[in-house]
Amino acid sequence: MTREGVADALRTTAVRLGPVSATPRLDAELLLAHALGIDRADLLMRQRDLIVPPGFAALVERRLAGEPIAYITGSRDFWTISLHVTPDVLIPRPDTETLIEAAVDHFARREPARILDLGTGSGALLLAALSQWPRAQGLGIDISAAALAVARGNAERLHLNDRADFRIGDWAEGMAGRFDLILINPPYIDQDVELTGDVLHEPKGALFAGVKGLDDYRRIAPLLPPLLSPDGMAAIEIGYDQRESVSALLLDQGLAVAVRQDLAGHDRCLIATARRRD
């Protein structure tokens, strides 16, 4: 197919995807690149040499039915790494990178030695942190065996499996020891919220957390003080309207709390540290 044919395919597909996607042109490019077995950059640079494969149409139909791009292609970029994702795990999102940004600032003068990721899912936060600090060791905890299988696979693909351990668990219940960095992205959506879009396909247990979305924060907050090293930090993702409520839970545990906003200007990450004793 000529370059014009590829361009026409992308243009037509973007129009078709308009009603179901906020980024229809990008979706079209990612789907076509996946169908061709190349990355998006190659697609955009080599259009003159490419032929639209027959399998592209089926991928477009899946997207039109609402299936997220990441589940169709089986991959998602996060921080500096690329992850395999399945419907057993949440799709890593740019907002969650705010937790890594907060950690990078906190550890500007030294590296964390031990990292804990609670509710690790695909392993996104833990593996991003391990790629950032090449001498660190990490532990990812999740209640889902299927999610842990995805995380272990990602660690192997990224050649981080020698520094990343994964265990099944219910948050940090029964854990001992101290960690320099604790990363947490818990469920935080109010049980009565009606979802739309890609999240309809994601695991509900990783999304909803009771009335006002605070159930898991209430369980997690008391577990943090004995797990945090004296100069360590916990980076905790929150919903845009949960700053005060979750901060109060952390303050009640004797922790100091700061907030970091995401690129959209929403409160996204609470930074919990041990309070200094004068």
Residues 117 and 141 in one domain: yes
Q: Is 131 helix (H, G, I), strand (E, B) or coil?
A: helix
Residue 19 pLDDT: 95
pLDDT tens, 137-179?
A: 999 999 999 999 999 999 999 999 999 999 999 999 999 999 9
Ordered alpha helix ranges (H), 18-169? 24-36, 40-45, 55-64, 69-73, 97-106, 124-132, 145-157
Query: Is residue 43 in a domain?
Result: yes
Q: Considering 21, 44, 66, which residue would you say is the last residue of a domain?
A: 66
Which domain, by its residues, includes 29?
A: 3-66
Residues 23 and 133 in one domain: no
Query: Is residue 71 in a domain?
Result: no
**Residue 183 backbone dihedrals phi, psi, to 5 degrees:** -110, 130
pLDDT tens, 3-21?
A: 448 989 999 999 999 999 9
**Do 138 and 117 contact (CB within 8 A), yes or no?**
yes
List Cβ neighbours of 2 (8 Å cut-off, separation of 6 or more): 48
Residues 30 and 135 in one domain: no
For 4, half-sphere exposure in the C-beta direction (CA atoms, 13 angstrom radius) is 0
- Reading the block at residue 151, the tokens are 């995380």
Q: How confident is the model at residue 278 (pLDDT cuts 50, 70, 90)?
A: very low
Residue 117, pLDDT > 90, answer yes
Q: Is 7 helix (H, G, I), strand (E, B) or coil?
A: helix
Residue 42, pLDDT > 90, answer yes
Q: How confident is the model at residue 2 (pLDDT cuts 50, 70, 90)?
A: very low
Residues 87 and 183 in one domain: yes
Query: Is residue 162 in a domain?
Result: yes
Residue 196, pLDDT > 90, answer no
Q: How confident is the model at residue 277 (pLDDT cuts 50, 70, 90)?
A: low
Residue 123, pLDDT > 60, answer yes
Report how many domains make up the chain.
Answer: 2
Query: Is residue 72 in a domain?
Result: no
Query: Is residue 83 in a domain?
Result: yes
Residues 139 and 256 in one domain: yes
Residue 47 pLDDT: 87
Residues 241 and 179 in one domain: yes
Residues 235 and 165 in one domain: yes
Q: Considering 66, 90, 114, which residue would you say is the last residue of a domain?
A: 66
Q: Is 247 helix (H, G, I), strand (E, B) or coil?
A: helix
Going from the C-alpha of 13 to that of each of 29, 52, 74, the distances in angstroms are: 9, 12, 20
Share of the chain above pLDDT 70, in %: 97
Query: Is residue 247 in a domain?
Result: yes
Residues 107 and 183 in one domain: yes
Q: Considering 66, 91, 113, which residue would you say is the last residue of a domain?
A: 66
Residue 1, pLDDT > 80, answer no
Buried b vs exposed e over 242-266: b needs ≥16 C-beta within 10 Å?
bbeebbebbeeeebebeeeebeeee
Query: Is residue 159 in a domain?
Result: yes
**Residue 85 backbone dihedrals phi, psi, to 5 degrees:** -130, 150
Residues 182 and 45 in one domain: no
Residue 276 pLDDT: 63
- Range with the poorest average pLDDT among 94-98, 106-110, 179-183, 195-199: 195-199
Average pLDDT over residues 35-47: 93
CA distance 240 to 191: 16
CATH number of the CATH domain containing 56: 1.10.8
User: Which strand (E) or helix (H) includes residue 114?
Assistant: strand 114-118
Q: What is the mean pLDDT of the chain?
A: 94
Residues 183 and 59 in one domain: no
Q: How confident is the model at residue 255 (pLDDT cuts 50, 70, 90)?
A: very high
Residues 55 and 147 in one domain: no
pLDDT tens, 45-65?
A: 998 889 999 999 999 999 999
pLDDT tens, 213-241?
A: 999 999 999 999 999 999 999 999 999 99
Query: Is residue 73 in a domain?
Result: no
CATH number of the CATH domain containing 86: 3.40.50.150
Residues 38 and 172 in one domain: no
Q: How confident is the model at residue 194 (pLDDT cuts 50, 70, 90)?
A: confident
